[in-house]
């Protein structure tokens, strides 16, 4: 079901633009994210502690397959199993840090920035809905 005021054609075009952006802007390697984006930029120590190489591989796969909602949910569940809600939150924040970096590397127009940042963060946020247990569940 399309969003109100957005045609199927517009949704298709936005999906294609997002796919092109992801192909042209690969997810950075683990060492770069760990050092340059987390430690050097003085992100939280929790973010550094919870990221790790295994979670890096999961987040990279999420980024590269952003329209595969099952994969995104499964990878979120794996991150949660490995480190709980803190790990899930900090890996989400790391994804946002990576997106900010990728966007800053390009001279993008406002619409493309919104398309990339808003759509990727929203897709992951919504796919992770319900991960966790008890009072500690991811909610969108």
Work out how many domains the chain is built from and give that number.
Answer: 1
Residue 45 falls within a domain, yes or no? yes
Residue 11 falls within a domain, yes or no? no
pLDDT tens-digit series, residues 38-67? 876 666 666 767 788 999 999 999 999 999
Of 121, 94, 117, give the one whose Cα is nearest residue 38: 94
Residue 118 falls within a domain, yes or no? yes
136: helix, strand or coil: strand
Residue 1 falls within a domain, yes or no? no
Residue 59 falls within a domain, yes or no? yes
Mean pLDDT of the residues in the chain: 89
Residue 140 falls within a domain, yes or no? no
Give the span between the Cα atoms of 25 and 20, in whole angstroms. Answer: 8
Structural domain of 110: 17-132
Give the span between the Cα atoms of 60 and 29, in whole angstroms. Answer: 9
Ranges of the chain with pLDDT below 70: 1-6, 40-46, 48
Give the span between the Cα atoms of 14 and 22, in whole angstroms. Answer: 12
């Amino acid at each position: 079901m399309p969003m109100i005021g957005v045609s199927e054609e517009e949704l298709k075009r936005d999906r294609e633009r997002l796919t092109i952006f992801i192909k042209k802007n690969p997810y950075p390697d683990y060492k770069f994210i760990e050092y340059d984006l987390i430690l050097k930029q003085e992100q939280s120590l929790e973010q550094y502690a919870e990221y790790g190489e295994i979670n890096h591989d999961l987040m990279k796969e999420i980024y590269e397959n952003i329209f595969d909602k099952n994969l995104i949910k499964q990878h979120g569940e794996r991150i949660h199993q490995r480190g709980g809600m803190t790990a899930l939150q900090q890996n989400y924040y790391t994804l946002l840090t990576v997106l900010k970096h990728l966007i800053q590397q390009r001279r993008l127009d406002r619409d493309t920035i919104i398309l990339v940042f808003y759509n990727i963060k929203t897709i992951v946020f919504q796919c992770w809905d319900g991960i966790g247990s008890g009072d500690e569940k991811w909610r969108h």
